[in-house]
Chains A and B, each alone.
Chain A
Amino acid sequence: MKSLAEVFAESLMIDAASVVDSLAYQSIKEWDSVAHMVLVTALEDNFDIMLDADDIVAMSSVAKVREILAKYDVAG
């Protein structure tokens, strides 16, 4: 199982070093809606969870994603 940072880095095709809590959706070109779809699937596959649609649309930053994953008992 990969860490949250690794899943982000692979899905957005960015450096793991760029994956900080404050990184926000649409703040970089690489995190657009296309990458977001890839991210959602990657998170679900990696952590073996099914994300609720309301959670998907609330995933506006790395910090927010961490918070949401905690609800699914995932510590990334």
Chain B
Amino acid sequence: MTTGNPWAAILAGHGDAVAVRDDAGTAFSYADVLALRAQFDATLGRRSLVFLRTANSAASVAAWLALLASDQATLAIEHDLGPDRLTALIDLYRPDAIIDPDGTIAPGPGGTALHPELSVLLSTSGSTGSPKLARFTAAALLANAAAIADYLGLTAAERPFLALPTSYSYGMSVINSHALVGACVEVTAHGVMQAEFWDGLKNRAATSLSGVPFHYDAIRRLGLDRLATPTLTTLSQAGGKLPAPVAAKYAEWAAANGRRFITMYGQTEAGPRLTWLPPELLASHAGAIGVPIPGVTIDLIAADGGVITEPGVSGEMRCTSPAIMMGYAQGAADLARGDELGGVLMTGDLASREEAGILSITGRASRMIKLFGTRVNLDDIDAQLARMDVPGVSFGQDDQLRILIEAGEPETVRAALIAAFSFPPRGLMVKAVASLPRASSGKLLYGALGQAWEAAT
């Protein structure tokens, strides 16, 4: 096997340094990761499309890094994705192999042609096992890892405490950026509401914590003093908008305790990170997403396609970055395609920029919401309703996924959707209406769904 992948040389340079440790104390060194890569290569025999089922364990993170540094093309998906969603992905993309979190390799149907530069595939919505994937080169993910290491000032001495799912772009970016500098990822399967999480944070001498807005709400409930361990210096936040008052609370705490709280923004399709808010600006700009990370340029595009130059005017963020995906995949044939975007991405998120260049999100143009940090493509939900033969439509806003159905029992539909997917059930509500609001042409009136919801019981 060739070692043209730049990650291989980078990981080799870290020698026997520990790459990852988990709750059980199991650890893999960078050398172990490369040995694992050799094992995978030997078993697979030739460049393959691999599905890696991930978990928050050392073996799983080591498998991810081994594949990242290899010549395989890997789709990372959470191990707890519903079996029929996994089967659907296997049938659609026909991987050569499926690797479990413990490293066990099972053969897949195989036969999918791969573009030579394709290295990583990420689902645009892991919690629904969305078949819409983002296609990446190894160089793209390396560029993002390097930019992150730069603006966060990462060194091999960092010990990030990682509770985020490891197949999600945010969790993956924590792993990749720390692997670049030779640090040890302290991965945990425990959640912020568990005593074991807090014991681990302290006992494993974690230096940083990453979370979505929900985590930071939970931590406020538990009391911010829990964060003041002897070693924890950086808190980072992405995965949705942190309300300004909450951001202000953390800014106050960080300043009073000599720690950094760093808000960031990104998107799976961007590899994933795009902006960061330098911590010294948090107090004066609570709720903003900051400035582009190194190597990224952001333009705000008006409805007529022109670039907005006036401060305070909203437009869709268009990002230019070496980490942008090559394009989407919606089926096996798409994996043979190369770069279609040339490093430029329309994000579907609206933002405005103030005089000093600080960006703030003002809205979302696309059919997507965040449910307590996890991304849900509304079109994927609608596709599931269609598969279930339920006439209905999904809509909503962050933390509130709403389904209006014209037939069927709301409770039954809700239970079926919870079983099919892995987003937080609390975020989902289903109501029945006699008929959905439509124009005389029969076209659904998305703008009237909110009113229809309020009127329904």
**Contact call B426/A34, Cβ cutoff below 8 A:** yes
- How far is it, in angstroms, between the C-alpha of A29 and the C-alpha of B195 when the chains are bound? 20
A65 to B418, CA, bound (A): 25
Q: With the chains together, A30 CA to B417 CA distance in Å? A: 12
User: Which residue among B192, B217, B426 has the maximum number of chain A CB atoms within 10 Å of its CB?
Assistant: B426
A33 contacts B422, C-beta separation under 8 Å: no
Q: Indicate which residue in A25, A29, A57, A60 contacts B418 across the interface (CB closer than 8 Å).
A: A29
CB-based contact A34/B226 at 8 Å: no
Which residue among A34, A35, A56 has the maximum number of chain B CB atoms within 10 Å of its CB? A34
Q: In the complex where A34-B214, A34-B372, A36-B193 touch, is A53 in contact with B226 (Cβ < 8 A)? A: yes
| B253 interfacial contact with A, CB 8 Å | no
A25, A29, A38, A54, most chain B CB atoms within 10 A: A29
Partner of A13 from B217, B221, B222, B425 at Cβ < 8 Å = B425
Using a CB-CB cutoff of 8 Å, which residues 179-234 of chain B contact chain A? 191-195, 197-198, 214, 217-218, 221-223, 226
- Give every chain A residue within 8 A of B214 (Cβ-Cβ): 33-34, 37
- Min CB gap A31→B, angstroms: 9
Contacts of B427 in A (CB 8 A): 34
- Residues of A contacting B218 with CB < 8 Å? 33, 37
Contacts of A23 in B (CB 8 A): none
* Chain A residues with CB under 8 A of B450: none
> Shortest distance in angstroms between B218's beta carbon and chain A's nearest beta carbon?
6
Contacts of B363 in A (CB 8 A): none
Task: Give the nearest-CB partner of A36 in chain B.
Answer: B193
Residue of A nearest to B199 (CB): A57
Interface assignment of A62: CB less than 8 Å from any CB of chain B: no
Decide yes or no whether B13 CB sits under 8 A from chain A: no
| Closest residue of B by beta carbon distance from A51 | B221
With A29-B425, A32-B425 as known contacts, state yes or no: A57 contacts B222, CB within 8 Å: yes
Interface size on A, residues (CB 8 A): 20
| Total residues of chain B contacting the partner, CB 8 A | 22
The minimal Cβ–Cβ distance linking B338 to chain A, given in whole angstroms, is 39
Query: Complex: how many Å from CA A53 to CA B226?
Result: 9
Q: Which one of B195, B422, B424, B425 contacts A57 once the chains associate, using CB atoms below 8 Å?
A: B195
Residues of B near A53 (CB, < 8 A) are 221-223, 226
Q: Kindly state whether residue A40 has any CB partner on chain B within 8 Å.
A: yes
Asked if residues B424 and A34 are in contact (CB atoms below 8 Å), the reply is yes
Are the CB atoms of A56 and B418 closer together than 8 Å? no
Check if A46 is an interface residue, CB within 8 A of chain B.
no
Interface residues of A in 13-70 (CB under 8 A from B): 13, 25-26, 29-30, 32-38, 40, 53-54, 56-60
A26 cross-chain contacts in B, Cβ below 8 A? 191
Q: Which of A13, A29, A33, A40 has the most CB of B within 10 A?
A: A33
Question: B168 → chain A, closest Cβ, in Å?
Answer: 15
Using CB atoms, name the residue of chain A closest to B192: A33
Q: State whether B191 touches A33 (Cβ < 8 A).
A: yes
B416 to chain A, nearest CB (A): 12
Mask, B145-171, CB within 8 Å of A = 1, is 000000000000000000000000000
Q: Is the CB of A57 within 8 A of B193?
A: yes
Evaluate whether A37 and B425 lie within 8 angstroms (CB atoms) in the complex, with A25-B194, A57-B195 already known. no
Q: Chain B residue with minimal CB distance to A55?
A: B195
Q: Which residues of A contact B226 (CB under 8 A)?
A: 53
How many Å lie between the Cα of A22 and that of B88 in the bound state?
A: 34
Contact with A along B404-432 (1 / 0, CB 8 A): 00000000000000110010111100000
Q: How far is the CA of A54 from the CA of B197 in the complex (A)?
A: 12
Report if A35-B222 is in contact (Cβ < 8 Å); known contacts: A58-B195, A60-B194.
no
What's the nearest-Cβ distance from chain B to residue A59, in Å?
8
Q: How far is the CA of A53 from the CA of B193 in the complex (A)?
A: 9
State the CA gap A33–B191 with chains docked (Å).
Answer: 7
Q: Is there contact, CB below 8 Å, between B197 and A57?
A: yes
Partner of A56, one of B193, B419, B424: B193
Q: Identify 17 residue pairs between A and B in the complex whose beta-carbon atoms are under 8 Å apart, listed by A's number.
A: A13-B425, A30-B425, A32-B424, A33-B192, A33-B218, A34-B214, A34-B425, A35-B424, A35-B425, A37-B193, A37-B221, A53-B226, A56-B193, A57-B193, A57-B197, A57-B222, A60-B195
A30-B426, A40-B221 known; 13 new pairs, CB 8 Å cut-off, are A25-B194, A29-B425, A30-B418, A32-B424, A32-B426, A34-B372, A34-B425, A53-B223, A54-B195, A56-B222, A57-B193, A57-B197, A57-B222
In the complex, the 4 A-B pairs of residues with the closest C-beta atoms, listed nearest first: A34-B424, A57-B195, A53-B222, A33-B191
